[in-house]
């Protein structure tokens, strides 16, 4: 039995056995959770012909403070029509279309890497926003993976401490993905951190057979789930290039007035094996010249 199948079984058992009372913070989503569980139990109610894989916590649940996140400028599921929510609605549309397109046209389309040339251009910020925006969809679930194994920042943005994750699974064959996958208080969002330990052979681990198997299964068996990978800078690390070669889609973040044309060209060269590349023009300024306007629209490069 594969690691993903084991994870699915464990999660299913956990779903059936769960009698935990919701905390105050979970009350707002408890009805949706019940609806989701009964949905999983009754395949007859499947939405648009896709079997939603179970997504209930094995042990750990991460509470995400949505008010705090909203103040940081991040999209939250109940936010309504804010500017940033609208921009990510536009950005995610083509990505979702590709994610569930015919695999003969886009292979592993549900594996989406958020990349950029250099540091600080907004990869992690856009990864979290994209994940949050997709998690607010009725029929899509999201797994956000912190694949910036050298300098992980997803726990910092979402407000929780470092936990076991990707590198731990790749290093320890006994470790099951369900042991480290984190359910969050956002109903359709699960997380996989970069892992507790930094590792000098991170590139080899990401390029290795076990990572390949993990990605294949995430793409095929969990075809109903969008998997977003936050990543290290393409031009500064070899991990990012290795990862890019295995993705179905890549979103390249370009920082307004910062990322040079040369850097964009070099980054595009690094990821040219990917058939679906979109760009986000990030941190563009408002016409007043003072505040961030937010994002340009994503568009298809290839």
Ligand X SMILES: Nc1ncnc2c1ncn2[C@@H]1O[C@H](COP(=O)(O)OP(=O)(O)OP(=O)(O)O)[C@@H](O)[C@H]1O
Residues binding Mg ion (CB under 5 A): 123-124, 153
**Calpha distance 147→155 (Å, rounded):** 12
Nearer to ligand X, 151 or 198 (CB): 151
Q: Which two tokens stand for residue 145?
A: 């993976």
Instruction: For the chain, give percent helix, strand, coil, nearest 5.
Output: 40, 15, 40
Q: Which residue has the tokens 């007043």?
A: 288
Nearest to 108 by CA among 240, 241, 243: 243
**Calpha distance 251→181 (Å, rounded):** 24
Nearer to ligand X, 123 or 246 (CB): 123
Residue 278 CB, shortest distance to ligand X, in Å, is 16
Cα angle value 263/89/124 (rounded, 5°): 40
Q: Please report whether residue 121 would count as binding ligand X according to CB under 6 A.
A: yes
In the region spanning residues 271 to 290, those forming contacts with ligand X, defined by CB under 6 A, are: 282-283
In the region spanning residues 232 to 261, those forming contacts with ligand X, defined by CB under 6 A, are: 233
As beta bridge partners, residue 249 has 112
Q: Please report whether residue 124 would count as binding ligand X according to CB under 6 A.
A: yes
Nearer to ligand X, 55 or 154 (CB): 154
Nearer to Mg ion, 84 or 240 (CB): 240
Q: Look at residue 294 and give the partner it binds from Mg ion, ligand X, none, a contact being a CB closer than 5 to 8 Å depending on partner kind.
A: ligand X
The SS3 call for residue 30 is helix
Query: x/- contact string, 144-183, with ligand X (CB under 6 A)?
Result: ----x--x-x------------------------------
Nearer to ligand X, 47 or 90 (CB): 90
Nearest to 19 by CA among 8, 6, 10, 30: 30
Residue 29 CB, shortest distance to ligand X, in Å, is 26
In the region spanning residues 23 to 82, those forming contacts with ligand X, defined by CB under 6 A, are: 73
Nearest to 250 by CA among 86, 127, 68, 84: 127
What is residue 193's DSSP assignment? B
Nearer to Mg ion, 57 or 232 (CB): 232
Contact call for residues 254 and 279 (beta carbons, < 8 A) = yes
Chain residue at closest Cβ approach to Mg ion: 124
**Binding piece for ligand X, criterion CB under 6 A, among 12-20, 30-38, 103-111, 122-130:** 122-130
Q: Please report whether residue 270 would count as binding ligand X according to CB under 6 A.
A: no
Q: Where are the beta strands (DSSP E) in 5-119?
A: 61-62, 111-116
How many positions of this chain bind ligand X (CB under 6 A)?
A: 17
CB atoms within 10 A of CB 60: 15
Binding site for ligand X (CB under 6 A): 73, 116, 119-125, 148, 151, 153, 233, 282-283, 292, 294
């Amino acid at each position: 039995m594969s690691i993903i199948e084991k994870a699915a079984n464990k999660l299913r058992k956990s779903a059936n056995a769960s009698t935990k009372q919701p905390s105050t913070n979970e009350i707002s989503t408890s009805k949706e959770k019940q609806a989701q569980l009964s949905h999983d139990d009754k395949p007859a109610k499947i939405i648009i012909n896709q079997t939603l894989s179970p997504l209930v916590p094995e042990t750990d649940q991460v509470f995400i403070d949505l008010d705090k996140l909203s103040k940081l400028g991040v999209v939250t599921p109940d936010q309504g029509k804010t500017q940033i929510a609208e921009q990510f609605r536009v950005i995610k549309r083509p990505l979702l279309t590709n994610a569930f397109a015919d695999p003969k046209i886009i292979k592993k389309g549900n594996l989406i890497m958020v990349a950029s040339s250099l540091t600080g251009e907004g990869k992690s910020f856009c990864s979290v926003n994209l994940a949050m925006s997709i998690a607010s969809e009725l029929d899509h679930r999201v797994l956000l993976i912190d694949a910036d194994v050298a300098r992980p920042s997803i726990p910092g943005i979402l407000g929780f401490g470092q936990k076991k994750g990707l590198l731990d699974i790749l290093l320890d064959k006994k470790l099951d993905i369900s042991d480290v996958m984190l359910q969050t208080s956002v109903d359709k969002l699960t997380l996989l951190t970069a892992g507790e330990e930094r590792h000098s052979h991170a590139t080899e681990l990401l390029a290795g057979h076990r990572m390949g198997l993990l990605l294949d299964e995430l793409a095929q068996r969990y075809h109903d789930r969008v998997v977003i990978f936050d990543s290290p800078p393409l031009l500064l690390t070899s991990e990012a290039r290795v990862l890019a070669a295995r993705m179905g889609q890549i979103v390249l973040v370009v920082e307004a007035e910062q990322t040079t044309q040369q850097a964009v060209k070099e980054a595009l060269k690094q990821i040219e094996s990917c058939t679906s590349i979109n760009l986000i023009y990030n941190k563009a300024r408002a016409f007043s010249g003072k505040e961030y306007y937010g994002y340009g629209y994503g568009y298809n490069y290839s």
